[in-house]
Amino acid sequence: MSKLAIVGAGYVGLTTAACLADLGNDVAVVDIDESKVRQLRRHRLHFYEPGLQELVERNARAGRLAFTTTYADALPGAEFAFIAVATPEGEGGAADLSYVESAAASIAGAMDGPLVIVNKSTVPIGTGDVVSARVQAAGASHPFDVVSNPEFLREGSALRDFMHPDRVVIGAHDRAAAERVAKLYEPLGAPILIYNLYTAEMVKYASNAFLATRISFINEIARICERVDADARLVAEGMGLDRRIGPDFLDAGIGYGGSCFPKDVKALAAIAERFDLHPALLTAVMEINRDQRLVAVEKVQECLGTLRGQVVGLLGLSFKPNTDDMRDAPSIDIARGLAAKGAHVRAYDPAATERAKLLLPEIEYRGSAYAVARGADALVVVTEWNEFRQLDLQRLKRSMRRPVVVDGRNIYDPQRMRDLGFVYRGIGRN
């Protein structure tokens, strides 16, 4: 058993802490947000992630997981300190490292022995050196190493992703320090890749940028499919069976969102520009994704003729199912785009309503998909929650004033929708 401190109680920090505690380690989570820590001490989460609350409660009751607002409580006796704080978009798209640097300085002031400092946050290449310099400058009185250990957690399946990873990536200037971190992950039985510090940091950015590229690529193909009477979903199926390509991240829709892809693609482009490179592909990926969000608005207007005075319902608000995360969610641009053209917008989401109200206070919120449909002129499927796949479509149609459905996630069969009497528009499907 090892003693660990985790700095940051967000999606990554809390998932990492709970999972490492479940593997038998003694874990203390430090977060400067007092209300968040009070909530966690009552085993209540401030965000939705399937299974995580139960894991937190079990390990907290077992004495393996604790929460504090002070580094002085979390760091003494720790062998490892994981930094899992936010790295929001900064000037010019570059990642803002102020929270990372603040955490590094606080760790330096509280450490009471040799320490391995692990960067879990998504950070630009070279951040390990920045952290090392910051710890030194803050007067660290004990030896330390800085290791990169990027996360690959998907919101909605974070526990499975942590416990059953495709690979664990670790990078350091000192291999012995990397191997110490590797031992924490040995119980998972996954491939452990040890690289130099900069390579490990780049793996994270390159992975997210590539997945975002696949999404923008299939959305570009989808727009062409609509013009040539091809079905983008079947095109993706035919592509995905090629072993060189594979099926994942080839679902045409209204684009990606969330806390990772938008920010990380932009940050990688900013890194390239800093070295006088021209990230043409990354720029195109971002432009296609931005434009794709407006496709839903265009399709609704095409079906209704005008949006002024029309009632348009959104099914789903979070950027993906099984999370309440609204960060850079396509629903934000879609709702604002519809409202800007005069539509009355109402919405329902199984988990994200409270977070959405903070970002979209101007729209109406209802308690079910059927309530959103009542008297609506059009519905837009924004998030592919399973709940929406199982709706009584005949009941939905009877509730609507005009039976228009724009399926931004292609969850319905076009022919069946038309047979039921809907005016149906998918993405890349005719």
Strand ranges across the sheet with 378-381: 364-365, 344-348, 311-315, 378-381, 404-407, 423-425
Q: What is the CA radius of gyration of the chain?
A: 23
Decide: helix, strand or coil at residue 415: helix
Q: How far is CA 147 from CA 166, 271, 275, 376, in A?
A: 20, 21, 24, 54
**Could you write out the DSSP letters of every residue in 18-69?**
HHHHHTT-EEEEE-S-HHHHHHHHTT--SS--TTHHHHHHHHHHTTSEEEES
**Could you write out the DSSP letters of every residue in 289-351?**
HHHHHHHHHHHHHHHHS--TT-EEEEE--SSSTT----TT-HHHHHHHHHHHTT-EEEEE-SS
* Chain-centre distance for alpha carbon 416: 32
**Could you write out the DSSP letters of every residue in 187-238?**
GG---EEEE-HHHHHHHHHHHHHHHHHHHHHHHHHHHHHHHHT--HHHHHHH
Task: Identify the residue whose tokens are 């509280």.
Answer: 110
**Partners of 171 in the β-ladder:** 148, 195
Decide: helix, strand or coil at residue 423: strand
CA nearest 207: which of 153, 164, 157? Answer: 153
Cβ contacts of residue 398 below 8 Å, gap of 6+?
A: none
Token representation of residue 244: 């060189």
Q: Which helix (H) or strand (E) holds 396?
A: helix 393-399
Token representation of residue 200: 């490990």
Token representation of residue 423: 């005016």
Based on the residue annotation, tell me whether 260 is a catalytic residue of this protein.
yes
* Catalytically annotated residue among 19, 225, 260, 303: 260
Catalytic residue ranges: 260
